[in-house]
Amino acid sequence: MNHALSSRRGTVVKALGLVLLAACGAPTPAVTAPIAIETPPADAAGPAPDAASLAWHCCEHDVAAPERRHTEVPLIPATERGEPSEAARQAKRLFDSERWAEAAAALNEVAMGETGDNRANVEIAEYHLAIAHFRLGHYSASATTFRKIARQRAHTRFVYSLLWLAKLVALPEAQGFVAPEDLASYEAAAVKRFDNPEQRDVYWATSFLLGMARLRAAEYREARALFAQVDEGSPYAADAHLCLRLLAVRDRG
């Protein structure tokens, strides 16, 4: 194991150790300086996700008093799609043509409510805008919108956004833009739709991320089940197994 990976593994151990110590009632070590999210080294090989960054996201705030996952998720009423405006149709045509920059500008007008479209069409435009930003390499903007959608279970594109959050996490250049708690509104069953040969990597990634979210929320049984879904072939395997071992230590304590 090279120095960078060894350092990252040490960060995961420290972060998860803080979570489990706090959950078990042990005093949490004082933090004397802000915890920085690690940036993957420029020469890191392949698209393996930075699990250490994710772990720090889980532990950075209020580790001794984790919030439950549905406490502050804003729900919006279900809405009928209705007919989109001509501006919304044109934005979608640009999107379908993969003219990403033009599509992003047009979709932004719809998403901002400037075209008079109803709520459902505005939400669809938000979703397509996030994809357009992703295609343009504007990962921070893309993540911001997908994170917003992921916190609204009634959003028309709530279910579909989980896949794109997983895509963002897998990109080295997008590290730190998505945290496990951004997936906290999803149920464990939501990742099961990725359990197929074509999307196995997404299945393992979302299982690990949602497991970290459940760990952060002190929902240990569900966290354990999610971590157990991560196969040896995943870049997350070592960290998922580490989480399982630490949970086993907690159970024995």
- CA 236 – CA 241 distance, rounded (Å): 9
Each residue of 103-114: pLDDT tens digit?
999 999 999 999
- What confidence score (pLDDT) does residue 60 get? 37
| pLDDT averaged over every residue in the chain | 77
Q: How confident is the model at residue 249 (pLDDT cuts 50, 70, 90)?
A: confident
**How many whole angstroms from its chain centre is CA 38?**
17
- CA 24 – CA 9 distance, rounded (Å): 22
The CA-based angle 44-48-49, given to 5 degrees, is 105
Q: For residue 154, give Cα distances in angstroms to 78, 123, 148, 187.
A: 6, 10, 12, 14
- CA 190 – CA 173 distance, rounded (Å): 26
pTM, two decimal places: 0.70
Q: Average of pLDDT values for 220-227?
A: 95
Of residues 241, 244, 209, 204, the one with CA closest to residue 224: 244
Q: How confident is the model at residue 252 (pLDDT cuts 50, 70, 90)?
A: confident
Least confident of 2-16, 116-130, 145-159, 226-240: 2-16
- What confidence score (pLDDT) does residue 176 get? 87
The CA-based angle 230-231-237, given to 5 degrees, is 70
- CA 133 – CA 75 distance, rounded (Å): 25
Does the pLDDT at position 167 exceed 80?
yes
Each residue of 19-60: pLDDT tens digit?
555 444 444 333 333 223 233 333 333 344 444 444 434 433
Question: In the structure encoding, which two tokens stand for residue 51, read together?
Answer: 């699990």
Q: How confident is the model at residue 250 (pLDDT cuts 50, 70, 90)?
A: confident
Of residues 183, 253, 252, 170, the one with CA closest to residue 215: 183
Q: Integer distance in angstroms from the first to the last C-alpha of the chain?
A: 31
**C-alpha R_g of the chain:** 19
Percent of the chain with pLDDT over 90: 57
- What confidence score (pLDDT) does residue 99 get? 98
Is residue 44 within 8 Å of 4, Cβ to Cβ? yes
- CA 150 – CA 165 distance, rounded (Å): 9
- What confidence score (pLDDT) does residue 115 get? 96
CB count within 10 Å of CB 70 equals 12
Q: How confident is the model at residue 98 (pLDDT cuts 50, 70, 90)?
A: very high
Each residue of 230-247: pLDDT tens digit?
999 899 999 999 999 989
Each residue of 148-164: pLDDT tens digit?
999 999 999 999 999 99
- What confidence score (pLDDT) does residue 35 get? 26
- What confidence score (pLDDT) does residue 71 get? 36
Q: Average of pLDDT values for 126-134?
A: 98
Which residues, other chains included, contact 241 with Cβ-Cβ below 8 Å and sequence gap of 6+?
227, 230
